[in-house]
Homo-oligomer: A and B are copies of this chain.
Amino acid sequence: MPARVLDGPAVAAAIRAAVAPEVQSFTSAAGRPPALGIVLVGDDPGSEIYVRNKVKAGGESGLTVELLRLPATAAIDEVLTLVRRLNERSDCDGILVQSPLPAGMGRNATQRVFDAIDPAKDVDGFHPVNVGKLAQGRAHLTPCTPSGVMVMLDHFGVRIAGARAVVLGRSDIVGKPMAQLLLSRDATVTICHSKTEALKSVTAEADILVAAIGRAGFVTPEFVKTGATVIDVGINRVTDRSIAAAILGQGSPRLGDFDRRGSLVVGDVHPAVAEVASAMTPVPGGVGPLTIAMLLKNTVSAARARAGV
| Interface 9-residue window, one of A10-18, A84-92, A127-135, A148-156 | A127-135
A238 to B129, CA, bound (A): 38
Interface residue A249 (Cβ < 8 Å from any Cβ of B): no
A188 touches B (CB below 8 Å): yes
- Contact between chains at B183 and A188 (CB < 8 Å): no
Our pick among B128, B133, B202 for the contact of A188 (Cβ within 8 Å) is B202
Q: Which residues of B contact A190 (CB under 8 A)?
A: 188-190
**A193-201, A211-219, A268-276: which one contacts chain B?**
A193-201
Interface positions, chain A 82-140, Cβ under 8 Å from B, are 111, 127-133, 135-138
Q: Give 26 CB contacts A-B under 8 Å.
A: A111-B136, A128-B128, A128-B129, A128-B131, A128-B132, A129-B129, A129-B132, A131-B131, A131-B135, A131-B136, A132-B133, A132-B135, A135-B172, A135-B176, A162-B195, A162-B197, A164-B197, A170-B183, A183-B191, A183-B193, A186-B195, A188-B192, A188-B193, A188-B195, A188-B197, A190-B190
What number of A residues sit within 8 Å (CB to CB) of B?
Answer: 31
Chain B residues closer than 8 Å to A130, beta-carbon distance: 132
Q: A30: CB under 8 A from chain B? A: no
Residue A243 at the B interface, CB < 8 A?
A: no
Chain A interface (Cβ within 8 Å of chain B)?
111, 127-133, 135-138, 161-162, 164, 170, 172, 176, 180, 183, 186, 188-193, 195-197, 202
Q: Please, how many angstroms separate the alpha-carbon atoms of A186 and B196 in the complex?
A: 8
Q: Whole-angstrom distance from the CB of A130 to the nearest CB of chain B?
A: 7
- In the bound complex, CA of A162 to CA of B197 (Å): 6
Residues of B contacting A186 in the complex (Cβ-Cβ under 8 angstroms): 193, 195
Q: How far is the CA of A196 from the CA of B187 in the complex (A)?
A: 7
How far is B189's CA from A196's CA once the two chains are assembled, in angstroms? 9
Contact A189 B188 (CB under 8 A): no
Nearest CB to that of A131 among chain B residues?
B132
Nearest CB on B from A112, distance (A): 11
Nearest chain-B residue to A137 (Cβ)? Answer: B172
**Which B residue's beta carbon lies closest to that of A170?**
B183
